[in-house]
Structure 1
Amino acid sequence: MRLPLIALLAGLTLLSACGGGGRPDVEGVPQVQVVPSNFADADPHPEIAPAIRRHPVRGIDVARFQTSVDWASARANGVNFAFIKATEGGDRVDEMFASHWRGAAAAGVPRGAYHFFYHCRAPEEQARWFFSHVPRRSGDLPPVIDMEWTPDSPTCTIRRPAAEIRADAAKLVEMFTRHYGTAPILYTTVDFYVDNQMWRVGGTDFWLRSVAAHPSDIYAGQHWAFWQYSSTGLIPGIAGEVDLNAFSGSERDWAVWLARRVQP
């Protein structure tokens, strides 16, 4: 996976390659400079501050609601990765996707695109829609499938059986993995995770939302790669509030994860 990592790290500072640390079967992975996060929160939860200090690698996710992002400033203030909304269902493209996608790349922010799952369209159709708008690019972060309930949707509020939901998730994971050459990340919320027994979905890293406690306290026993811990973040360079996220491990773990999981 050395070539994808080099592609991803274009524009970032590489420190000396080193062995040891991280997982024993990955050797010679370059360390990645992680910028300390100068993040604030408009509505902080008291349980989050002590928990988040254990996770030094932090980033954001953005969509059409973030209409003004100075990506260079955001990067300098500790945005070490960004997940950017690309598509929804089978006929919607986020209005800010192209702008955010270009801006993150220009600032050297590792970026990945995400698809918002629509419960009233077949998973195959949704996957093909995403593929048509998000190119395969060596070095990008894995794509993300965002699955949650949609009670406020103007067109689709159905709640199908859990087995059907998991079958759709499995189909999407299989199609995304085949198309991009790396397994996708699955984002979900507490209620959706519990209602549909999403821990039974394999072949993916999880990105979990938990704004009142550490994921280990809410999703007991579930391995996760990313934690969305606030939706009211304040970061220099970003107008308004933004979702805040943390990677699960150390700076060394981040370098190892990138070496394994970026698109080939």
Structure 2
Amino acid sequence: MPHKTFVLLLALSLMSCGPSPGRQPPPAATAEPHRAAPLRLAAAARPRFDDHDPHDWTGAGPRAFPVHGIDVSRWQGAIDWPRVRKAGVSFVYVKATEGMEDSDPMFGQHWTGAGRAGVTRGAYHHFYFCAPAERQARWFIANVPKSADGLPHMLDMEWNPFSPTCRVRPDAATVRAEATTFLDIVERHYGRRPVIYTTVDFARDTGITRLPGTGFWLRSVAGPPATTYPGTPWTFWQYTGTGRIDGVAGPVDINVFRGSETDWRVWDGHGLP
């Protein structure tokens, strides 16, 4: 998922686009029965974050929101999760899969580490436009265990113009139909509908944010969502791809949850109060 503004990280990430042939699912983690549970807040009263390439936000910007979190993949390497939680990270989304055969080699380590440190966690799938949505959903399910205290999972939908294996751009109706298929299958399995992460150009080209009954996670690193996606409701806002957080060695995406601390504790993935 994350867009890396640092040239080296971006180059490495783009090289990873598209499924790797012959990849098999990792050993399945022990599935836990699903039940609604209050979401946890970070240990810090307020997040203590910095940025490798800070944006000069007008007004409070993302700091106006009390609940912050990160999304991570193999590119963050090993993470000191107790330090991350102490810094004020209330949630994490961990990359699990891409396409229908590629799985992130750090998923298990990140997933387990975040859970042990008390960071509320969800997993995400990077959609690949050269494979049917149903097969991608089944691949995601094969790699991500059910969790008693997890977040609704996330579907990452964005264009991949530099993918070495798949650069097709389906029409908007096909994109929305494939997204719906993926969301329906994953919702039936885990009990909650995933949120959709997207970018400005993808939202403009496909109308993905018009899908009903779905929460949205919007990337906007140079302005608030109200400016970049006028009229679009959102649940999460990714406001930087170059964040600096104690416990993570390099740049990391940082996000905010739209609601209050009370909203966060009761949010179930089906919208905000």
Does TM, normalized by the shorter one, top 0.5?
yes
Equivalences for residues 92-171 of structure 1 within 5 A: 92-171=102-181
- For 1:22, the equivalent position in structure 2 comes to none
2:84 to 40, 50, 74: 74
Q: Work out whether residues 61 and 83 of structure 1, in 8 Å CA contact, stay in contact via their aligned partners in 2.
A: yes
**2:112 is paired with a residue of what secondary structure?**
helix
Q: Work out whether residues 44 and 85 of structure 2, in 8 Å CA contact, stay in contact via their aligned partners in 1.
A: no
Q: Work out whether residues 173 and 203 of structure 1, in 8 Å CA contact, stay in contact via their aligned partners in 2.
A: no
1:47 is displaced (CA, Å) by 2.5
What is the CA–CA distance in structure 1 between the aligned matches of 2:264 and 2:43, rounded to whole Å?
Answer: 10
1:238 to 238, 245, 248: 248
- For 1:26, the equivalent position in structure 2 comes to none
**1:38 is paired with a residue of what secondary structure?**
coil
User: Aligned in 2, Cα 1:35/1:89: closer, same or farther, shift over 3 Å?
Assistant: farther
**1:80 is paired with a residue of what secondary structure?**
strand
1:49 is displaced (CA, Å) by 6.7
Q: Calculate the TM-score normalised by the size of structure 1.
A: 0.85
- For 1:226, the equivalent position in structure 2 comes to 236
- For 1:27, the equivalent position in structure 2 comes to none
2:201 to 191, 201, 211: 191
What is the CA–CA distance in structure 1 between the aligned matches of 2:189 and 2:124, rounded to whole Å?
Answer: 14
Segments of structure 1 that go 5 or more residues without pairing to the other structure are 13-31
Q: Work out whether residues 210 and 227 of structure 1, in 8 Å CA contact, stay in contact via their aligned partners in 2.
A: yes
**1:81 is paired with a residue of what secondary structure?**
strand
What is the CA–CA distance in structure 1 between the aligned matches of 2:263 and 2:57, rounded to whole Å?
Answer: 24
Q: Work out whether residues 73 and 104 of structure 2, in 8 Å CA contact, stay in contact via their aligned partners in 1.
A: yes
**1:52 is paired with a residue of what secondary structure?**
helix
Which deviates the most, 90-99 or 133-142? 133-142
- Root mean square deviation of aligned Cα: 1.8
- For 2:8, the equivalent position in structure 1 comes to none
2:212 to 197, 202, 205: 202
Q: Deviations over 1:16-74 (max 9, x none)?
A: xxxxxxxxxxxxxxxx8764111100111113672112111001000000102100000
- For 1:5, the equivalent position in structure 2 comes to 37
Q: Work out whether residues 196 and 217 of structure 2, in 8 Å CA contact, stay in contact via their aligned partners in 1.
A: yes
**Count of equivalent residues:** 237
What is the CA–CA distance in structure 2 between the aligned matches of 1:49 and 1:66, rounded to whole Å?
Answer: 30
What is the CA–CA distance in structure 2 between the aligned matches of 1:102 and 1:49, rounded to whole Å?
Answer: 37
Instruction: Please tell me the residue identity of whatever aligns with 1:255.
Output: R
**2:118 is paired with a residue of what secondary structure?**
coil
What is the CA–CA distance in structure 2 between the aligned matches of 1:179 and 1:120, rounded to whole Å?
Answer: 23
Structure 1 runs of 4+ aligned residues shifted over 2 Å read 32-35, 47-50
Q: Calculate the TM-score normalised by the size of structure 2.
A: 0.83
**2:267 is paired with a residue of what secondary structure?**
helix
- For 2:53, the equivalent position in structure 1 comes to 43
Instruction: Please tell me the residue identity of whatever aligns with 2:76.
Output: Q
Segments of structure 2 that go 5 or more residues without pairing to the other structure are 1-33
- For 2:261, the equivalent position in structure 1 comes to 251
